[in-house]
Structure 1
Amino acid sequence: MRRLFAILVAFCLLSVAGCAIKKAPSGEDYYQQAQSNFAHHEYNAAIENYQLVIDKYPFSPYAEDAELKIGLAYYEMKEYAEAIGALDDFQRMHPTSKNLDLVSYYIAMSYYTQIGREDQDQTKTEQALKHFEIIEQRFPEGSFAELARQNANVCREMLARHEMVVGNYYFKRANFRAAESRLAELMQKYPDTPIAPDALFELGQALEKEGKKYSAAQAFAALERHYPDTPYSNKAKAELKKLKQPIDTEEDPLPLVLAETGYGGQQADQDRVVVRQRDATFDESSAAAPPSAPGTPAAPAQPSNQPLAAMAHRSASAYGPDGLPILDRPESPAPTQATGPATLKTIRLSQADPPMSIILDLTGPVAYDKRVQNGSGYSAAIVTLKDVTPDKTLQSHIVFDRSIFRDCDVKTDSQGTTVTMNTVPLADVSVVPLDGPPRLLLTFMPQNQQASN
């Protein structure tokens, strides 16, 4: 009897001990719980459980997806800095993941959803554009490529409108040189945005206000050429009649204008102004927030609306099905060509009447240096063409005696060919490399023209 009692007691103790020992959750358990939390929008709980998968079961088949979902959970909570950090870590730790296009898209969207108005700081817009362009380049056939292209266009338009706001700010305060710089930068970077015709017209006005009548005329001519079906085209025609300046019909005037303005280059810090108040000339609808990304890691549906659509005054005949102006030039700048040995074939005046430019015809793209030497009553524009030899038929001394040009000397040495053009006193000379066929367009700004206004 005692023996039976002892057996029963031992059995009971074992049963109680067995009940007290709980099975530890597996990596799958944590992952499934996190998935459930995520599906029910319990993102903090989801992050905790995904993190448990990573910490306790780093080599489980669920760990990689848990890292990804943490970034997406932060995105859904609108904690964009944390989302960017988590997704950046994922990219670094898993460079061959099949989800890299999705990760890149949500990093881009984390910046994109923070874009403010066009009169505010555009750092987030620049970051968003950078990452959308990465998607277009690395994953052109991926599920997110088309969305990335659309959103990249929105970013470009926002950046263009920001430059327009700053350009307007300077223009209204009669700081026409600063306005010229910002508007030229807009045209150099964002010529395919709906705001470009407006910007080019105002650039022409700024140049005219500075007394650069020839450059202003080229800007208005470029507007007629590239944006013929916009309201600004007729305005440009009227300005051209008023200016009565020669127009070079042989070359595209837009790169000429941009070269003369330095392509909107670096501006002195003291000249830069951060516009913090909204410009009254812009419609309030321009403050519409960009659409948010979809909440699940799948290819999102096409967005039903485009941000900034109300700001784009589009003409159906002037813009293509993608909403961008139809221009007779490539949509994006051509890649930089390698320079190498080339031949200088001819040196000729442009076809404008009177000519204000000289064209150097070449057999290929070249590297060059240019400088201006001023003397008493004359200037010498000197262009050194590196690794270039003159054609055997090219004369070493060419007489122009037309317009502002007197003559030209050609000399060659082991470094290349130097072309010296003797002219009336110059304020500046701009060099524009062109292709199809390769050539350099040299445009001259006489001192008397710069001082005339």
Structure 2
Amino acid sequence: MVSARVLLAAVAVTSLAACSEGLDKFNPFADEKYKPEKVVDTPPDQLYNDGLARAANGNFVGAAKKFDEVIKIHPHSAYAKQALLMSAYANYEAGAYDDAIGSAKRYVTLYPSDKDAAYAQYLLAMSHYSMAPDVSRDQEQAEKAGQALNDLVTRYPNSEYVKDSKWKIQVIRDQLAGKEMEVGRYYLNRRNYGAAINRFRVVISRYQTTRHVEEALERLVEAYMAMGIVNEAQTAAAVLGHNFPDSPWYKDAHTLLTKGGLAPREDKGSWISQAFGKAISLN
């Protein structure tokens, strides 16, 4: 004998089914019944080779997806390690620099002594380098690129990427110095001499090998003369004349001092003199 509870349950189910059928006419997706999707477990070698083929055809977005599938679906396979490096490469070529940075950074972290670690570090640096804007904008990416390139030169000094890295480091240093000069000029034009001096000081202290150091010294002469700190103005001009005697910036600095009845004179105790002394000793 069927219990009352079972009968009630059967009635409830029947009622729900009938109600559901009645509401289906208001449901635009009623004809679309859910069907569980069967996931095909593609072998890692097939995914990896598919990624290589796509990369060879210039489809780097598709290639990166295949390499990432290897990493996600077969993380412990023999192909996962190389797929991680290829993911960095494909994403870099596709212009997906953030993704390239993620894969490259993970590769260097997991395999710092691997034969391809230097290449992964280079891809990491170049991704930041490619995102670095001009001097009119924030230089965070340029700074990160410089740090990544310095790490490459330090960790992998015998790498084939060292020569290019050193050249790019100088390019980045010049750009960072240019940004400091741009801000320094801004403050100088608005007679905020203290803020301007701080910017020019950065150029002289950190970026002496860049093309901006001559102007930075001359701008210091302008700022210090405007503030009446003639000793530092004379020192800046003297250091500029000693290191860059043929520079047009020295001629401007000398003319500015002359108009004030002064001449270049170096104070060895000045931070300007000491900054250049340290640079000479380091070289």
TM-score (norm 2): 0.77
Which of 212, 226, 232 is 2:249 aligned to? 232
Taking a change above 3 Å as real, the CA distance of residues 27 and 205 of structure 1, as seen in their structure-2 partners, is: same
Which structure shows the bigger proportion of residues in helix conformation?
2
Tell me the residue number matched to 1:28: 45
Given candidates 41, 49, 52, the residue that maps to 2:66 is 49
Is 1:244 matched with 2:262? yes
Aligned to 1:181: 198
Deviation by residue 1:13-61 (Cα, 9 ceiling, x = unmatched): xxxxxxxxxx975332222111101111222322232233334443433
Q: 1:26 to 1:248 in 2, by over 3 A?
A: closer
Aligned positions, number: 243
Q: Report if the CA contact (8 A) 1:188-1:258 is conserved.
A: no
The one-letter amino acid of 2:183's match is: V
| 2:79 match | 62
The residue aligned with 2:272 is 257
2:231 aligned to which of 209, 214, 224: 214
* Cα drift, residue 72 of structure 1: 1.4
Q: Does 1:125 align with 2:150?
A: no
Q: Distance in 2 between matches of 1:132 and 1:174?
A: 37
Q: Can you give the 5+ residue segments of structure 2 that lack an aligned partner in the other structure?
A: 1-39
Q: CA RMSD in A?
A: 2.6
How far did 1:118 drift? 0.9
Secondary structure of the structure 2 residue equivalent to 1:87: helix
Partner residue, 1:301: none
Letter in 1 for 2:135: E
**Residue 82 of structure 1, CA deviation:** 1.4
Correspondence 1:40 to 2:77:
no
2:167 is matched with 150
Task: Identify if the C-alpha distance between structure 1 residues 246 and 46 changes in structure 2 by more than 3 Å, giving closer, same or farther.
Answer: closer
Write the letter of the residue equivalent to 2:110.
M
SS in 1 for 2:211: coil
Partner SS state of residue 117, structure 1:
coil
2:132 and 2:141 in contact (8 A); partners too: yes
Moved more, 217-226 or 93-102: 93-102
Asked if 2 retains the 8 angstrom alpha-carbon contact of 1:220 and 1:239, the reply is: no
**Structure 2 counterpart of 1:134, which letter?**
D
The corresponding residue for 1:74 is 91
CA separation of 1:186 and 1:88: change in aligned 2, threshold 3 A:
same
- The one-letter code sitting in structure 2 at the alignment partner of 1:244 is L
Helix, strand or coil for the counterpart of 1:113? helix
**In structure 1, distance between residues paired with 2:77 and 2:280:** 47
Q: How does 1:192-341 map to 2 (within 5 A)?
A: 192-241=209-258, 242-244=260-262, 247-248=265-266, 251=268, 256-257=271-272, 330=279, 333=282
Letter matched to residue 99 of structure 2: E
List per-residue Cα deviations over 1:195-247 (Å, max 9, x = no partner).
Answer: 11011101111011011011100000010011123212223333344442682
TM, length-normalised to structure 1: 0.50
Q: Measured at CA, do residues 165 and 24 of structure 1 come closer, stay the same or move farther in structure 2, by a change above 3 Å?
A: closer
Report SS of the residue matched to 1:192: coil
Task: Confirm or deny: 8 A CA contact 1:50 1:70 kept in the other structure.
Answer: yes
**Structure (1/2) with the larger strand percentage:** 1
1:92 to 88, 97, 109: 109
